[in-house]
A = this chain, B = another copy of it.
Amino acid sequence: MTAIEFRDEIVVVDMGFMFSNENTPGIDYILPNTKYLEERKDKVKAVIITHGHLDHIGAIPYIMPRIGNPPIYSRLLTTVMIKKRQEEFPHVLPLDIKIVEKEETIRFKNFAVKFFAVTHTIPDAMGLIIETPFGDIVHTGDLKLDHSGGIPSDKEVDEFKIFEKRNVLLLMADSTNVERPGFSIPEHEVHKNIEEIVKNAKGRLIVGTFASLFERAMKVVEISEQHGKKVIVEGRSMKTNFEVARQLNLLKAKKETIIPVEEMDRYAPNQIVIVATGSQGEEFAALMRMANKTHKFIKINKTDSVVLSSSIIPGNEQSVQKLKDNLSRQGAHIIHYQTSDVHSSGHANRDETAWIHRKIGARFFVPVHGYHYMLRVHADLARALGMPAENVIIPDNGMIIEIAEEGKIIFARKEFAPRNMVLVDGSAVSDIQDVVLRDRQMLAQDGIFVVIITIDSATGKLKKSADLISRGFVYLKENQELLRNARLIIKKTVEDSTYKMNPLNLDYVRENVTETITRFLLQKTAKRPVVIPVIISI
């Protein structure tokens, strides 16, 4: 998510979320921090969405109400994807969505916004041009180039021609794959390779891919139809996207080519192609259920081939490995992107990116999209292409980059916009979950040990032996002696602490118990559970 502010107007570009990672256990999504915008609600005139992927639209239901629900502009498919997602949030105010086409211009008081079409893995992806009196601000969105052997197609050349007569002040461009050499594999090559596989499949063919790789999923159906095969679509998000595609006429196959899974047995195995979600090894997705033998209809056997037509999203390496292992165990033959060109990313490689830089020809450059290290690599590329070092700013979350002196200089302000992560945790959306997350991490490592002590308020002695409750610490059935000793130590610690104490200082007793028991458990088990003493004084 990027906000562009000029005089008293702000335009927001994209509104995605990040998926949870190993540092955010239990968290559903991570949202951009929008406090800066919330404090300037009146200035926010528009939200422009470059394409319909979750990392660009996912935060819309959470953020729009907070920034005054300004109008959202995007191309047709993107707007449909936004509306589909919105259905899951019935209580949120209706969005004001405006469909734009790339020839249109949206005008604001101080500037205008134009669009250009870009190639990505979903149709209707676009970049945008914000026209200001000092030059254009160009944001590419996610993009790659359609090309053959490193020569961009006529369509791309045509599309980028618009920049010939433009005065581009600032370029913000996709950095995701800028470290990879040369040009990316063009999608049409992936289609050709998948076609070979479909044609030659001697048994069932299962194609695991992302539902978000819209074009590819549609293409698999068209290819299958051409080779006289039937297609089964598995996985909720895949089914949704096929519905959308049908609705917008993006799917060129006949209706009867797609059959319900229940009819699979009417056809020979080599007439069946299954398009399924779960190529990341997601626990309950279609492909993983097949691998784990829990899929209701599809049992993997030795004549099946599985194409994993997707890359591995960072963080999913172990689950993809498990997926491949379990499919192998049942005898399936696996084809994946590391050994065969059955996947291509939607992001430009180094030489493609250089081509885009040359075509757009900006004065200033800010690399966007990708880990910080990638932004740095992209900045190095811009400099290698001749941009002066002081004209390039590597952004970080919350950074405020200013172009001043009527477009003569660019610099990062010293102060940042509020930028701590906003976490979606069940129904809570908050940026102050640090304590909770730290606790979860500790609980995951060593568990918890709760000590309940009933104390006689008159004597300071225990009314009965302490109750001990633990989860995630040690296997209690095997550790009866540990518990017995813990009870003895607790009794002694409490009674030593309260000896001749009047009135009872329960905080002091609690502290002593925590300290003694933590030490005792560490010594006996080499584990450090969260120890919580509860003292009930009667």
Contact = CB atoms under 8 A, between A and B. Distances in A.
A303 interface: no
A390 to B, nearest CB: 14
Nearest to A380: B333
Given A376-B328, A426-B526, A473-B436, A450 B447 contact: no
A452 B536 contact: yes
A538 interface: yes
B447 A26 contact: yes
Contact of A373 (B328, B447, B536): B328
A465 interface: no
Interface of A: 21-23, 25-26, 179, 181, 314-315, 317-318, 321, 324-329, 334, 338-339, 371-373, 375-376, 396, 425-428, 430, 432-433, 435-437, 439-448, 450, 452, 454, 467, 469, 471-475, 478, 524-527, 530, 532, 534, 536, 538
B447 A444 contact: no
A425 B328 contact: no
A489 B448 CA distance: 25
Contact of A26 (B26, B372, B445, B469): B445
A450 B478 CA distance: 23
A448 B443 contact: yes
Complex copy number for this chain: 2
Contacts of A376: 328
A476 to B, nearest CB: 9
Contact of A430 (B328, B373, B426, B478): B478
A443 B454 contact: no
B525 A426 contact: yes
Nearest to A396: B329
5 contacts: A315-B318, A427-B524, A428-B525, A439-B472, A450-B532
